[in-house]
Amino acid sequence: MKGHSGNVGVFVRIRPTAHFAQGLVECLPDGQTVNIYHRRDSKKTQDSIKGPPSSWSFRLEGVLQDVSQEEVYDRVCHPVVQGAFDGYNGTVMCFGQTGAGKTYTMTGSTKSYKQRGFIPRALQQVFQEIERRTDFSFSVQLSFMEIYNETLLDLLSPVSPQQDSAPPSPRGLVVMEEPGRGVVIKGLSLHPVFSEEDALHLMFEADMNRITGSHALNRNSSRSHCIFSLHIESRSRTLSEAKYVTSKLSLVDLAGSERLGKTGSEGQMLKESTYINKSLSFLEQTILALADRRREHVPFRQTKLTHALKNSLGGNCNTVLVANVYGEAEHLDETLCTMHFARRMKKVKIQPAVNEHLDPALQVKKLQKELVTLKEEMSIHNTLLKNQSVEHEPLSEAQLAEISTEVQCYLDGSLMEISVKSIRQVEAVFTQFKLAVQKQEQKDVICNSCSSMKKDHGAVTWDVKESDGRGGTEEAEAGGSVATDSHKQTRRANTTATKTKKSKDKHSTTQGEGSASSKKRCETSSRKQNYSQTSEKELDPQEPEAQNQEAQPVEPAQPESPPTKSECFEDFKVGPGSKISSILKENKAVLLERRSLVRQLTEELNAVKGEIDTVMSTLLQHKQMRAARDEYPAEAEEPDAALLLQLSELKTLYRQRHVALHDVKAEVNYCEHLVHQCRVRLVSEFETWYKTAFLSPEEKTLTLIQSDDTEQQPQAEFPPDAPSAQFFHNARCRTQKRRDVQAHSGYRKLLPTLHAT
């Protein structure tokens, strides 16, 4: 769903029942029409005497009967979430009588991955999309708010030991309108989230905080409106643009729309129902006003619900409504009310627009850079036009030394640009480049002869496969330009690692058949380490062998002690962690490819520079010749004009190559970031797996707390290829565990700090 103007999208979802009101509710095969035949009871006559039958026909965007959670999500919510990535706000609301399936649609079952609803599925889509859109950097924040009896409550208000003394007042939340931002909820906590699992954990936390009351129709029915919001901000990684887009995604689970009399509510429940009915009836009034183009005033401010939803109902927003109905005969009145509401909602016009912003700081930076470039252009231009303001004195020793240092810094990457000051300086810069190239060529010759000597002696060969992906680049860099100290160190480590690996492989082949990892395990088990002494660092998949080979004290095998982490890590990589491990490998491959592109572009850039150098020196020669003759013959101007044209073309080419190089470098940075993320994820997943497999007594106690939970949701339900299923399960366990710990200690702890994965 992009930004097409049109009407609110309305779907009806029918809760499955064994007593479906056949003959009274009819869904037509077009999948869009519901007919309702209703015989209203006449209160004045006896029960058996009914009024004349009436029929209504409702045509909507879709009728969802006996449709899975997945399909409902794909048809209703998926396009709205997709639109949010392009900068469009989106709102999905569930409306209907209590027990009709609003919460089932919005949140779904928290105990079953398959039956999860819009919110967890939207989180999955958001994080998958973020992984897919590598050209953009995203920030995601979420909030979860409840409106209960006209009071706004933050379902995720941060409660920490420090904050316990002065917890934020739930009544402190206020709906406000800010110029340029529309409606905002002052005081509502916004939680940055970096992974699907962390976001799901917050969702479960909030879900547990919802106020639920026992009810005649549905014991767990929620008596409040809930608004889950995701704030997404995206910025281009490749274009150094000051522009960025934001969007807000609101998923709204409205409280039940049933009539008071039917539920038999009294006391507190009656008060709740009164508030609910009031806010829903104002919601209807608002919708009516919005649908009526002649109405100038829309009464958004009448209730907290309509005020909070102002931007979502009548703003620049993709809005979709799911009308949940309970298709049994006894609920026909409510079904009819819900369908009438749906029909009115369908008439509301929407005009979605992209939320585009300009980052003033970036804009200033960009303009400053442009200014510097223009000044340089001006300077060259002045020089070529023999402008007298430019320095003509030969450069001093000190100036030449300074230029030499600048060029060195430029070559090793610590200086991004060399600014052009005068033609003499340009000459000196090129001379320095020439010198650097010559030096490098000499080094290459020495390196080549060294490596052929090493080969002859059967010495070390580089093994790039097992390194962290830098090996290929560094190998090339060894014969290329400048290798930084850290690169050199990494290379040294890789060499050692390879040496060790080779000796290990040689050793393990004598021990019989087996996988590469089990071979390594056999080898390592001969010098088993104590489990508790195994350090985190050892697990860095970047250089597992390098770390294993560090001279650890050789201890006799201890059959009772658990296997060391490094042994298990290899098994984990080909077993339960194979997916993330292979993603890591793929990312490394992309990184290598991008790095080689950087090298290629750098070479091309240098070649263009060389040509500019040549043209510049020719121009200079001509100038000197003219100065010597002290005359300007007409024929001498001719070749200079051609040269100047060539110079300007070369400069354009140079700039293009420079931009391309800059972009690919940005990609390299991002790939490095991804590789790092994968590595961290691999290690953290391994840690969890290892702890579960080899439990210490304390850990066992904690797992016992979770055991009920695990029984309710057998692992078998997870499709093996869905990491999301694991996130869902992990997040639920985390929430459950936290709750259990709280229950035991009688003390509410801080929501765990979220870490980027």
Closest distance of CB 516 from ligand ADP, Å: 48
Among 85, 104, 569, 572, binds ligand ADP (CB under 6 A): 104
Distance spanning both ends of the chain, measured CA to CA: 30
385/372 Cα distance (integer angstroms):
20
User: Choosing among Mg ion, ligand ADP, none, which partner's interface includes residue 324 (Cβ < 5 to 8 Å by kind)?
Assistant: ligand ADP
602/478 Cα distance (integer angstroms):
16
Q: Which residues have CB under 8 Å from 132's CB, separation 6+?
A: none
Token output for 337: 């009310």
Number of residues binding to Mg ion, judged by CB under 5 A: 3
Among 25, 100, 153, 650, binds ligand ADP (CB under 6 A): 100
> Is 265 an interacting residue with respect to ligand ADP (CB under 6 A)?
no
Among candidate residues 151, 498, 95, the one with its CA nearest the CA of residue 320: 95
**Closer CB to ligand ADP, residue 206 or residue 568?**
206
> Is 103 an interacting residue with respect to ligand ADP (CB under 6 A)?
yes
Q: Taking contact as CB under 5 A, which single stretch among the options 202-210, 215-223, 333-341, 655-663 is the one that binds Mg ion?
A: 215-223
Token output for 580: 């993330």
User: Choosing among ligand ADP, Mg ion, none, which partner's interface includes residue 12 (Cβ < 5 to 8 Å by kind)?
Assistant: none
Cα–Cα distance list, 21 to 35, 51, 672, 720 (Å): 12, 18, 59, 40
**Closer CB to Mg ion, residue 103 or residue 500?**
103
> Is 677 an interacting residue with respect to Mg ion (CB under 5 A)?
no
C-alpha radius of gyration, the chain, whole number: 35
The three-class DSSP label of residue 624 is helix
Among 36, 93, 95, 98, binds ligand ADP (CB under 6 A): 98
434/453 Cα distance (integer angstroms):
29
Among 89, 110, 218, 318, binds ligand ADP (CB under 6 A): 218
User: Choosing among ligand ADP, Mg ion, none, which partner's interface includes residue 265 (Cβ < 5 to 8 Å by kind)?
Assistant: none
Q: Taking contact as CB under 5 A, which single stretch among the options 102-110, 196-204, 540-548, 553-561 is the one that binds Mg ion?
A: 102-110
Among candidate residues 319, 341, 308, 285, the one with its CA nearest the CA of residue 150: 308
Among 91, 103, 587, 726, binds Mg ion (CB under 5 A): 103
> Is 587 an interacting residue with respect to ligand ADP (CB under 6 A)?
no
**Closer CB to Mg ion, residue 225 or residue 595?**
225
Closest distance of CB 16 from ligand ADP, Å: 5
Q: Taking contact as CB under 6 A, which single stretch among the options 215-223, 240-248, 537-545, 659-667 is the one that binds ligand ADP?
A: 215-223
Token output for 62: 């879709």
> Is 99 an interacting residue with respect to ligand ADP (CB under 6 A)?
yes
> Is 222 an interacting residue with respect to Mg ion (CB under 5 A)?
yes
* 261, amino acid identity: G
Cα–Cα distance list, 457 to 129, 446, 452, 478 (Å): 52, 17, 9, 20
**Closer CB to Mg ion, residue 102 or residue 573?**
102
| Residue 603 backbone zone (phi > 0: left; psi -120 to 50: alpha; other: beta) | alpha
Among 9, 87, 90, 256, binds ligand ADP (CB under 6 A): 256
701/691 Cα distance (integer angstroms):
13
102/95 Cα distance (integer angstroms):
7
**Closer CB to Mg ion, residue 97 or residue 379?**
97
**Closer CB to ligand ADP, residue 218 or residue 548?**
218
User: Choosing among Mg ion, ligand ADP, none, which partner's interface includes residue 100 (Cβ < 5 to 8 Å by kind)?
Assistant: ligand ADP
Helices (H) and strands (E) in the chain, counts: 22, 17
> Is 729 an interacting residue with respect to ligand ADP (CB under 6 A)?
no
The three-class DSSP label of residue 94 is strand
> Is 16 an interacting residue with respect to ligand ADP (CB under 6 A)?
yes
**Closer CB to Mg ion, residue 102 or residue 729?**
102
Q: Return the number of other C-beta atoms located less than 10 Å from residue 382's C-beta.
A: 15
> Is 548 an interacting residue with respect to ligand ADP (CB under 6 A)?
no
146/155 Cα distance (integer angstroms):
7
Q: Return the number of other C-beta atoms located less than 10 Å from residue 273's C-beta.
A: 24
Q: Taking contact as CB under 5 A, which single stretch among the options 97-105, 113-121, 631-639, 645-653 is the one that binds Mg ion?
A: 97-105
**Closer CB to Mg ion, residue 102 or residue 310?**
102
The three-class DSSP label of residue 433 is helix
Cα–Cα distance list, 409 to 161, 369, 402, 590, 613 (Å): 50, 20, 11, 28, 19
**Closer CB to ligand ADP, residue 63 or residue 664?**
63
* Cβ atoms 312, 319 nearer than 8 A: yes
Cα–Cα distance list, 663 to 136, 307, 360, 589, 753 (Å): 13, 44, 22, 18, 34
Q: What angle do CA 92, 292, 281 make, to 5 degrees?
A: 55
**Closer CB to Mg ion, residue 189 or residue 224?**
224
User: Choosing among Mg ion, ligand ADP, none, which partner's interface includes residue 104 (Cβ < 5 to 8 Å by kind)?
Assistant: ligand ADP
Among candidate residues 309, 307, 298, 254, the one with its CA nearest the CA of residue 277: 254
Among candidate residues 324, 317, 325, 304, the one with its CA nearest the CA of residue 348: 317
Closest distance of CB 253 from Mg ion, Å: 6
Among 38, 102, 116, 210, binds ligand ADP (CB under 6 A): 102
Closest distance of CB 121 from Mg ion, Å: 17
User: Choosing among Mg ion, ligand ADP, none, which partner's interface includes residue 494 (Cβ < 5 to 8 Å by kind)?
Assistant: none
Binding residues among 428-467 for ligand ADP as defined by CB under 6 A: none
> Is 101 an interacting residue with respect to ligand ADP (CB under 6 A)?
yes
Locus of tokens 């991004």: 416
The three-class DSSP label of residue 152 is strand
Residue nearest to ligand ADP (CB): 101
Closest distance of CB 114 from ligand ADP, Å: 11
Phi, psi (deg, nearest 5) at residue 753: -65, 140
Q: Taking contact as CB under 6 A, which single stretch among the options 214-222, 229-237, 239-247, 276-284 is the one that binds ligand ADP?
A: 214-222
313/304 Cα distance (integer angstroms):
13
Among candidate residues 27, 47, 45, 44, the one with its CA nearest the CA of residue 36: 27
Looking at residue 504, the DSSP 8-state letter turns out to be H
Closest distance of CB 670 from ligand ADP, Å: 41
**Closer CB to Mg ion, residue 207 or residue 571?**
207
Closest distance of CB 330 from ligand ADP, Å: 15
Q: Taking contact as CB under 6 A, which single stretch among the options 102-110, 354-362, 493-501, 552-560 is the one that binds ligand ADP?
A: 102-110
> Is 90 an interacting residue with respect to ligand ADP (CB under 6 A)?
no
Number of residues binding to ligand ADP, judged by CB under 6 A: 15
Which positions lie near ligand ADP, rule CB under 6 A?
A: 15-16, 96, 98-104, 218, 221-222, 256, 324
> What does the binding site for Mg ion look like in residue numbers (CB under 5 A)?
102-103, 222
